[in-house]
Structure 1
Amino acid sequence: MRATEAARPARFDRAQQSRRAMLAKVHIAKKELRLDEDDYRQILADETGKTSAGDCSVGELDAVLGRFRARGWKAATQRRSTGHAMHPMAKKARALWISLCQLGEVRNPSEKALEAFAKRQLGCERLVWAKQSHSGRLIEALKAMAERGGWAQTSPDGRNLTVIELKCGLCEAILAKLIACGEVPADWTIDVAAWRLCGIDTAATEHGYTADNYGDLAEALGRKLREADPATVRTA
């Protein structure tokens, strides 16, 4: 090899880099929107005529991302630009707030509604400015709302529950409300409700149900609760 060839800088395929970045965004958006496999494949088919993002061109991936953005998804860089608090307290509060919406204990799952609630609890204008030492007050207020809604935050002996136990308990609490409003029979289990109401087969996972699986189920059951009896949804 000649010296001039050896010194030649490596070439980068910018088009391929762009495509890989967009493909990664598609998979991130799918997870963050909590799309089940059927919904995801349908969106791909609607926008591109294909069922695998890996087969899509840059233009087709852009169309799929446009569809996700229409559903409210924002890339991480866009979320950071909004000024939303991203410290541990805020992330935990946000996760609880969304779960409480699924449970029907709050009506509005938006960041603005969470900010308003946090302001009442902490006396701080913005959650991003809140002192971490005050986090317990906000989290405990959210947990108290969960308990009032029938979603236990600790075990009967006072033990802290694992994430999967909390997510499973959330599904059970939503099911209890569906039973209470007469939407489903009193003898339905989580597995029966998942399949008959949401078309989710809880036995289909290879290694058992995970916390993420229960999170997806809670979202699906929460939609059914709001559709069945909007009056059960509180206005926090």
Structure 2
Amino acid sequence: MNNKAKLIQLIHVAKREMALDDETYRAALSGVCGKNSCKNLSLSELHQVLEHFKRTGFKMRSKKVNNRISPLSSEPVKAAEIRVIRALWIDMAQSGLLSDSSEAALDRWVYRMSKVRHVGWLNGKQAVKVLEALKKWDARLMAKWLDEHLGTNYQAKLKHGTLSYSLMLKRFAKGKQVYKERQNAE
């Protein structure tokens, strides 16, 4: 994509994010450059329009670049539990329980639990401790989701220790299925 196309794209993003109707948008273009269409603007005019939108409230956001990805599951690890930790993290994200499923987010969580900066650096004892903490957190998130979406009372049952993690996994899978069926019925 060339520079002009990128600027036009940014201007259209500004239009959308500032919730400008077509008439207001074209009036802004006309007021800044005397033309009512981006395709008729030069590069310097496009820059002027973008600067105008920035001055009037448009906030440009940079794309978050996360180059770290999980290693292949066939790569060697210090402790077998590390593979399980990563798999559970990915499963939690796919279930909608995590907002950030990245390897960097996992490393931040692991650091809070173990003071080890990278999940791959955990030794066997640390990995077991982190895995157990992750399973408890996962169970709490599943219980919260079920209570909020289906009106169950699993959070209280977890607090009293009457639900195991494996039973919570089964209940969550069934609850997601019931919720999906209810949504389709509506």
TM over 0.5: no
TM-score, L = length of structure 1: 0.33
TM-score, L = length of structure 2: 0.41
